[in-house]
């Protein structure tokens, strides 16, 4: 084979190898962008080997440039200097330069993307840690609030238990007093009103109302109690409730030991007759009228004074039964 033929064969052979190397470089770029750190080499199902993708990339680039240089050397030595050939070589070099720039930009973009992914992962990890800390802080505060609430509830339960014990002790003492009163003979007390008492001595009836009642031939307590409140109200131009209230107070004032102030409290408590008073439980009635008395004193509806005792109330109910 002549020298010219060997140079032509070498040019084509190294050109072919250069093309294969360039294709390997593109394959390396694809492997890098796929995210896999290892490039695997297979023929059908046969595993030929594996290599780090980045190392594979740079070996392919370097091999491409070396083979291209050898191919160019064969071309320059084997062909006459022709302006057209030089122009084509310039275009090839320009293409290679563009490809090299493209590969560099691809590599830069790849590493930039890796850096961005790393920053994003760090940010996600930081936010996750912050969320865990916030949840831990909220849980701690919630537990502290629940502990405080439980302590308050325990304190209230303790106070309630003490109050119940005190009330139970008070009830026992009151019942002992009532039992003692029940065993004692009834005290001799005079009632504020009697059936024949004149209405002029009934303090709850105003002089104007007494005049109207006298005009209706109602002069005594018994005559007041025997009349219908509706009839009296119509003829005396008074409210039915007013007349009924006066009749109730009159009945209660006929029980020994009850005065005008006590009678008003009993009417406020819903006791409107001697029979209703006799049917009352002394303890419940005592609580009711004492509460009403305190409220009336606070509002100024009733002058301050001694409140009735449990003994007083028990004596009223006993006297009402006689």
| pTM for the predicted model, two decimal places | 0.45
Does residue 194 belong to any structural domain of this protein?
A: no
Does residue 192 belong to any structural domain of this protein?
A: no
Pair 109, 219 in one domain? no
Least confident of 46-50, 219-223, 298-302, 308-312: 46-50
More confident residue, 304 or 270: 270
Does residue 33 belong to any structural domain of this protein?
A: yes
> Quick check: helix, strand or coil at residue 189?
coil
Domain assignment of residue 222, given as a range: 199-321
- The answer to whether 193 touches 253, Cβ cutoff 8 Å, is yes
Q: Which of these three, 76, 101, 128, is where a domain ends?
A: 128
39 half-sphere exposure, CB direction, 13 A CA radius: 21
Q: Say what the pLDDT of residue 220 is.
A: 94
Domain count of the fold of the chain: 2
Does residue 291 belong to any structural domain of this protein?
A: yes
Does residue 105 belong to any structural domain of this protein?
A: yes
Q: Which of these three, 105, 128, 151, is where a domain ends?
A: 128
Provide DSSP, 30-99.
HHHHTT-SEEEEEETTEEEEEEEHHHHHHHHHHHHHHHHHHHHHHHHHHS---HHHHHHHHHHHHHHHHH
Pair 213, 96 in one domain? no
For 99-117, the pLDDT digits (tens) are 777 877 877 877 788 788 7
Q: Name 92's Cβ contacts closer than 8 Å, sequence gap at least 6.
A: none
Does residue 159 belong to any structural domain of this protein?
A: no
Pair 32, 123 in one domain? yes
Pair 317, 205 in one domain? yes
The Cβ of residue 237 has, within 10 Å, a number of other Cβ atoms equal to 7
For 288-297, the pLDDT digits (tens) are 988 888 888 8
Does residue 277 belong to any structural domain of this protein?
A: yes
Q: Which of these three, 79, 107, 128, is where a domain ends?
A: 128
Q: Say what the pLDDT of residue 246 is.
A: 94
For 53-101, the pLDDT digits (tens) are 778 778 888 888 888 888 787 776 654 545 675 677 677 778 777 877 7
Does residue 172 belong to any structural domain of this protein?
A: no
Q: Say what the pLDDT of residue 7 is.
A: 67
Pair 14, 121 in one domain? yes
Pair 122, 207 in one domain? no
């Amino acid at each position: 084979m002549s020298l010219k033929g060997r140079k032509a064969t070498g040019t084509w052979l190294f050109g072919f190898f250069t093309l294969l190397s360039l294709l390997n470089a593109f394959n390396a770029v694809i492997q890098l962008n796929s995210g896999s750190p290892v490039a695997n080499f297979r023929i059908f199902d046969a595993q030929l080997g594996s290599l780090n993708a980045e190392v594979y990339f740079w070996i392919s680039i370097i091999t491409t440039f070396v083979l291209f240089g050898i191919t160019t050397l064969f071309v320059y030595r084997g062909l006459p200097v022709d302006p057209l050939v030089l122009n084509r070589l310039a275009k090839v070099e320009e293409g290679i330069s563009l490809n090299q720039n493209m590969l560099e930009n691809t590599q830069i973009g790849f590493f930039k993307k890796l850096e961005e992914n790393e920053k994003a992962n760090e940010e996600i990890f930081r936010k996750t840690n912050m969320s865990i800390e916030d949840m831990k802080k909220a849980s701690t505060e919630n537990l502290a609030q629940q502990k405080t609430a439980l302590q308050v509830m325990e304190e209230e339960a303790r106070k309630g238990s003490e109050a119940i014990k005190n009330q139970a002790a008070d009830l026992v003492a009151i019942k002992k007093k009532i039992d003692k009163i029940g065993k004692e003979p009834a005290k001799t007390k005079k009632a504020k009103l009697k059936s024949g008492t004149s209405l002029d001595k009934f303090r709850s009836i105003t002089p104007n109302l007494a005049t109207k009642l006298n005009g209706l031939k109602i002069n005594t307590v018994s005559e007041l109690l025997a009349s219908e409140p509706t009839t009296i109200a119509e003829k005396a131009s008074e409210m039915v409730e007013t007349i009924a209230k006066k009749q109730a107070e009159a009945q209660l004032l006929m029980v020994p030991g009850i005065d005008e102030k006590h009678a008003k409290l009993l009417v406020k408590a819903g006791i409107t007759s001697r029979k209703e008073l006799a049917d009352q439980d002394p303890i419940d009635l005592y609580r009711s009228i004492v509460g009403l008395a305190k409220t009336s004193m606070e509002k100024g509806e009733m002058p301050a004074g001694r409140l009735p005792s449990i003994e007083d109330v028990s004596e009223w109910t006993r006297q009402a039964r006689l």
